[in-house]
A = this chain, B = another copy of it.
Amino acid sequence: MFPDANGPESHSGSPAETQAESETGRLEAFSDGVLAVIITIMAFELRAPVGGSFTDLRGRLPALLVYILSFVFIGIYWNNHHHLLRAARRVTGGVMWANLHLLFWLSLIPVLTGWIGEHYRDSAPAATYGLVCLGAAVAFVILTRAIIRADGGSSPVAAAIGRDYKGRASLLAYAAATGLAFASPWIAYVLFASVAALWLVPDRRLSR
């Protein structure tokens, strides 16, 4: 196999700008592929109703609502990932593994979406979902730090991140949802939906 898989770019002498372009290019393409499959396979998990009537369809409604929640969740990550990678300049071995680590957590979403769809009244699926969301949020922070470290001083990512109130609030909400799901899964669902709404509503200050 290839011996210097953990960071040959670090000592590369080729022009930084050009290389950075193709470096992040394949990372983005691979991540896009994984996220695209996650979103579509989740819809596949919905499964067609057994009978052919609207009553049968109504039985699939909770599963549909959880699907919408997960769809928005993956959409937010795709959006954020897109913006993060656009600001990134270098891809080291550390960045690649930090990215795979994020994709790992996200890849668990479809199965959990299916689980909640079947058992939305139970605490365990909701709490597990919260835990995986928390894992993904932490993985995103790690990825951000890996990119800043790879870019070195005056990273455009570091400047763009700033205080990151939304990110911190999401982390807290996911942690709270994981714990409060044991009291009632519905509290967790309200928290998940609130985080989704937080990201969907445009941040007026930033986009002018």
Binding site for B on A (CB under 8 A): 1-8, 10-11, 22, 26, 28-30, 32-49, 51-54, 56-57, 68, 71, 75-76, 78-80, 82-84, 86, 92-94, 96-97, 100, 103-104, 107-108, 110-112, 114-115, 118-119, 121-122, 124-125, 128, 137, 140-141, 144, 160-167, 170, 199-203, 206-208
Contacts and interface: CB of A to CB of B under 8 A. Distances in A.
A148 B142 CA distance: 36
A106 to B, nearest CB: 9
Contacts of A122: 52-53
Q: Shortest 10 CB-CB distances between A and B: which pairs?
A: A52-B119, A7-B207, A33-B36, A1-B167, A52-B122, A48-B115, A37-B40, A6-B202, A43-B107, A4-B206
B202 A94 contact: yes
B43 A110 contact: yes
A63 to B, nearest CB: 10
A200 B104 CA distance: 15
A39 B34 contact: yes
Contacts of A7: 202-203, 206-208
As for how many copies of this chain the complex holds, the number is 4
Given A2-B83, A41-B44, A43-B107, 10 more contacts: A2-B80, A5-B76, A5-B79, A30-B36, A32-B33, A33-B37, A36-B36, A37-B37, A44-B110, A78-B100
Contacts of A71: 100, 104, 107
A107 to B, nearest CB: 4
Contact of A118 (B39, B42, B46, B48): B48
B83 A8 contact: yes
